[in-house]
Amino acid sequence: MAEGYDILLPSEPFMHGVAHIPRRSVPDHITRPPYVSDEEGYGPRPGDTGIIKLRGEEELSLRAAANLAKRTLEHAGTLIRTALTTDELDAALHEFIISHNAYPSPLQYHGYPKSVCTSINNVVAHGIPDDRPLLPNDIVNVDVTVYLNGFHGDTSRTFMLPEVDERGRALVAATEGALREGITACGPGRPFTAIGAAIERYVKGLGAGLSVSRQFSGHGIGRVFHRSPWILHHDNDEEPGVMIPGHCFTIEPCIVADEDSRGFMWPDGWTVSTETGARSAQAEHMVLVTETGVDVLTE
């Protein structure tokens, strides 16, 4: 159980969904992803294989979206400080994204009310920015996705406030290491299952007290926000197939500081926190398989 840090629990404003949360405005000239106006616009269109055509305009557009996501996350890192609220952070990143003529992909995605996700301490994923000030011993994951010129770019990182304890710092370091191990398992002809095997082997090698969340996966990305292949972060035989040049997907393990990684969803329909109150950290990169290896587009 948690010691010395704040456990987040559902608060009254979030007990009845998110319909009451005001949405930030986006200038009319910025292109929206299809799902903003079309309830059928979440998945791939007929004939869309998800394979990126390398060495052409499609790859250049994909890389530009990934680069903007990376720069947005870097900007987040310059803003995070004690007493900042995650809603203030969301507002600043929203302005940064639209100032680059891009759309914040989470906004209105299946009704999500904000422009980024912010997951603090025991929140595993999809935390909704609110008016809680950041505390000096918090860890906070910021998950950024942007939609630019028809392509999504997606990345996240767990930031540490100045007084995070040694165990919290070790958790964040383990998560970043797990992501690196997952990336190392990638390349043309490699099975998708190698990613989860490498991540779980690495986490288990760190000793007792850590586990990989099995409730969230990475995903194919490009013209569509979330699509196959689904990237499982634990040892598995559930994701078939091998990587081929042009596959683009995210790797985004959530590592929990407890041998029990199970999480429960809050009544807001988005936020998932650990059942035990243990802290969780996440790190995410977007990778593109090439003929000779893999490029980390958001590094």
**183 phi and psi, to 5 degrees?**
-65, -40
pLDDT in tens, 134-175: 999 999 999 999 999 999 999 999 999 999 999 999 999 999
In this prediction, residue 1 has a pLDDT band, given cuts at 50, 70 and 90, of very low
Q: How many alpha carbons fall within 13 Å on the CB side of residue 246?
A: 11
DSSP string spanning 61-125? HHHHHHHHHHHHHHHHHHH--TT-BHHHHHHHHHHHHHHTT-EETTTTGGG--SSSEEEETTEEE
Burial of 128 (0-12, 13-18, 19+ CB in 10 A): buried
pLDDT per residue as tens digits for the range 169-225:
999 999 999 999 999 999 999 999 999 999 999 999 998 899 999 999 999 999 999
Taking CA 109 as the corner, what is the angle to CA 107 and CA 112, rounded to the nearest 5 degrees? 65
Output the pTM of the full model: 0.95
pLDDT in tens, 7-61: 999 976 655 678 788 899 999 999 999 999 988 889 998 888 999 999 999 999 9
| pLDDT digit string, tens, across residues 95-118 | 999 999 999 999 999 999 999 999
Give the helix/strand (H/E) hosting 253: none
- 285 annotated to bind ligand: no
226 is in an annotated binding site: yes
- 51-296 is a CATH 3.90.230.10 domain: yes
According to the annotation, is 252 in a ligand binding site? yes
Tokens coding 20: 């009451």
Phi, psi of 241 (to 5 degrees): 95, 170
143 is in an annotated binding site: yes
Question: 29: annotated binding-site residue?
Answer: no
Burial of 188 (0-12, 13-18, 19+ CB in 10 A): middle
Longest dimension (CA), the chain: 52
Integer angstrom CA distances of residue 257 from 165, 171, 206, 277:
13, 7, 12, 9
Residue with tokens 């490699």: 190
CA distance linking residue 160 with residue 139, whole number of Å: 5
Conformation bin of residue 209: beta by default, left when phi > 0, alpha when psi is -120 to 50: left
Q: What is the mean pLDDT of residues 87-99?
A: 98
Name the nearest CA neighbour of 147 among 86, 88, 100: 100
The answer to whether 291 is annotated as binding is no
CA 174 to centroid of chain Cα atoms: 16
Give 12's DSSP letter.
G
Residue 38 labelled as part of a binding site: no
Under a CB-based contact definition with an 8 Å cutoff, are residues 204 and 169 in contact?
A: no
Domain ranges of the chain: 51-296
